[in-house]
Structure 1
Amino acid sequence: MSKLADNLTQVQARITAACQQYHKTAPLLLAVSKTRSAAEIRALYALGIRHFGENYLQEALDKQQELTDLAIVWHFIGPIQSNKTRAIAENFDWIHSVDREKVATRLSVAVPSGKSLNVCVQVNIDHSPTKSGLLPEQLTPFLAECLALPQLSIRGLMAIPDPGEGNAQGQAFQALAKCLQQAQQSFPGAPLDTLSMGMSGDLELAIAAGSTIVRVGTDIFGARANKT
């Protein structure tokens, strides 16, 4: 518990320093809890964190069952298989990794009545052939399709840039911010206010570019446990 508290304090200090340096509003700190135990999540919740991100559906569902007494906001940040959309829509508040029309449509159909599911569209900002996500030039028609789907609240964009030399990552984050600005101009009535970008090693660069959600796992929980 003491180590977790120390790690969290250090991450929060980095966020505060970056916001002061770049004159930015503090982003939401999303604790990436994949492969971590329910007990660790409970301990971090006691330290004030309310938003947790999971990559693996069954692992997340098991932990959610153990933590029903806590008012956690659950984010799904991993790849989405189309046959898992119902379980994801029913058990998560945010989805950060939508990049296919089929998945968006199935999520929309599966959202329980009276609930609105917050969605970020994943962007392959580096044009990498090995990465998931839409290319920037594909965003406008895809957003138009998603914004027409009921019970989905399309909130913004997510990306995981490749590590790069110099300011390559910073440039990628700036490029994603520009994509969001263009989307806001194309769809002025949409609630497009979110940039989910930045992790343990690059959160300062992401904040400089205007990140509104930073996804931090290792620097809070320590070295990642192996997935079983």
Structure 2
Amino acid sequence: MSIIAKNLNKVRSEIASSASKSGRKTSDITLLAVSKTRPANDIRIAANEGQVHFGENYLQESLEKINELKALELCWHFIGPLQSNKTRAVAENFDWLHTLDRFKIAKRLSEQRPTDLAPLNVCIQVNISNEDSKSGCLPSELTALVNVISELPNICVRGLMAIPKATQDAQEQQVAFAKMKALQLELQAKYPQLDTLSMGMSGDMDAAIAEGSTIVRIGTAIFGPRAPKSA
């Protein structure tokens, strides 16, 4: 068994354990393997172990891998910051975008999404810890943004994404994730399709799952340490 296969099994076991502690079903939590900077063959190995969902941050690199692996039935998530001049490539090649935080980007994605593809699933990124260094809309801006984006025809607002302030304090982690869950519940009264909370990485996955995460984003724990990204 490969190292990647062993790591996948370990992460899946940890997700199951966290779900069990929280009284949740493991099947309600999707493991998103963050494959940025990893070669296509690493993704192929993970796919052979039943991994379907892969997250990419760097557009040009990801397009090359998507093309190389197009024979596999994979679900591609773009999880990096998205500039206006790169929206078409995401609209044409990805199944999900996790970092939407502006109407301008949403409108371009809707206009550029090919009509023969299902609507692009999007998560609104929320700056839940109000950090100057983080992207995302503020919680106070969220409802208005969802209202206008939900009117666009070729994208589907599926939920929320957050990267809370880094901390090793489990209670602090849980407070931030609980705020995200509260925002989701508030929006679901009007938009029941908002079934997704993309939150939790290796260091805070347990707290995220306890507060209702439905997608956890795990990279190094599956693929091992990353080599520095070349310029």
TM-score normalised over the length of structure 1: 0.97
Distance 1:35 1:4 in 2: 15
**2:216 alignment counterpart:** 214
**1:102 alignment counterpart:** 104
Aligned length: 226
Distance 1:25 1:114 in 2: 34
Q: Secondary structure at the match of 1:121?
A: strand
Contact 2:168–2:203 (CA under 8 A) maintained in structure 1: no
**2:157 alignment counterpart:** 154
**1:137 alignment counterpart:** 140
Q: Secondary structure at the match of 2:122?
A: strand
Superposed CA deviations along residues 49-72 of structure 1, whole A, max 9, x for unmatched, are 011000000000011111111111
Distance 2:168 2:95 in 1: 35
Matched, 1:2 2:25: no
Runs of 4+ in 1 over 6 A off after TM superposition: none
Question: Pairwise mapping of residues 53-132 of structure 1 onto structure 2 (< 5 A)?
Answer: 53-115=55-117, 116-132=119-135
**1:224 alignment counterpart:** 226
TM-score normalised over the length of structure 2: 0.95
Contact 2:202–2:221 (CA under 8 A) maintained in structure 1: yes
1:25 positional shift? 2.5
User: % of aligned pairs identical?
Assistant: 52
AA aligned opposite 2:54? F
Distance 1:76 1:83 in 2: 15
Distance 1:136 1:61 in 2: 32
**1:13 alignment counterpart:** 13
Superposed CA deviations along residues 33-56 of structure 1, whole A, max 9, x for unmatched, are 000000000000000001100000
AA aligned opposite 2:187? A
Question: Pairwise mapping of residues 170-185 of structure 1 onto structure 2 (< 5 A)?
Answer: 170-185=174-189
Distance 2:72 2:102 in 1: 32
1:165 positional shift? 5.0
